[in-house]
Homo-oligomer: A and B are copies of this chain.
Amino acid sequence: MQTEQQQTKMKVLIVFAHPDKQSLNHSLLEVTTNYLKEKNHEVKVTDLYAQNFKAGVDGDDFLNHEQGKRLFLMRDGGSAYNEGKLSPDIMEEQAKLDWADLVIFQFPMWWYSMPALMKGWIDRVLTQNFSYTGEKMFETAPLAGKKAFIISTVGVPKESYSKGKLGSIGEVFFPIQHGTFELIGFKVLEPIIGYSADSRYSNCFEITSKAIKERIDNIDTIEPMKAQSSYN
């Protein structure tokens, strides 16, 4: 057994999206941040609504892009990255990702996915050459080896996903956990889901806080999952 003193000190980036500071999600963000600090990990938070993060990638993101010239988003992003000509807000986020050992994506599940502002962060920050190249994806990607997991909340109980018409959590998060995290080489840990988040009769906050603290305590020993649609 590992003692607390022996635990690796981590650099943790939390990418967060919720518009309301009074939300359950914001309370959970505080739990995560405080507990990480209590355990002497370093924490940086990207609060997308608070930063008023731009969601739509376009030619303005590439400072070396000639106005009016046809856009080839993947290549243009890759060349702007190589030349240090990405928009400053993108470069700032890339620096945080370079710095981090662990990236936590926290968001309420909206329409089987992340809020649009977080998708904008994915679309804009994970440029070619920074997070992948034509040859370097999955295990050989530039950011390979960093850990990542999702903390999310859903309005319905767990049974709605594992047994219901909605599908499995693995199916819901496949584009994020496989098509994004695994594709850029992240080791993906099981998502932490707060169920029945919308019901005032639920104890979602307590249950999810406990799961978050356990995850942080066990972060050195927990095995990465393989992100599959069949995961419940």
Which positions in A face B, CB cutoff 8 Å?
Answer: 19-20, 22-23, 48-49, 55-59, 70-74, 108, 110-117, 119-120, 122-123, 126, 138, 155, 165-167, 171-172, 174-176, 178-180, 198, 229
Contact = CB atoms under 8 A, between A and B. Distances in A.
A123 B112 contact: no
Contacts of A120: 55, 116-117
A111 B123 contact: yes
Q: How many copies does the complex hold?
A: 2
B112 A174 contact: yes
B155 A55 contact: no
Contacts of A56: 19, 48-49, 55, 115-117
10 contacts: A19-B73, A49-B58, A55-B55, A56-B115, A73-B110, A111-B126, A116-B120, A167-B174, A167-B179, A171-B174
A220 B120 CA distance: 36
A71 B120 CA distance: 22
Contacts of A73: 19, 108, 110
A112 B180 contact: yes
Contacts of A48: 56
B59 A179 contact: no
A135 B74 CA distance: 42
B19 A115 contact: no
Contact of A19 (B71, B138, B155, B229): B71
Given A59-B20, A111-B180, A119-B116, A138 B126 contact: no
Contact of A111 (B108, B116, B175, B198): B175
Given A74-B198, A171-B171, A171-B174, A119 B126 contact: no
Nearest to A166: B179
Contacts of A57: 19, 110, 115-116
A10 B54 CA distance: 36
Contact of A20 (B55, B71, B110, B155): B71
Given A166-B179, A167-B179, A178-B167, A22 B113 contact: no
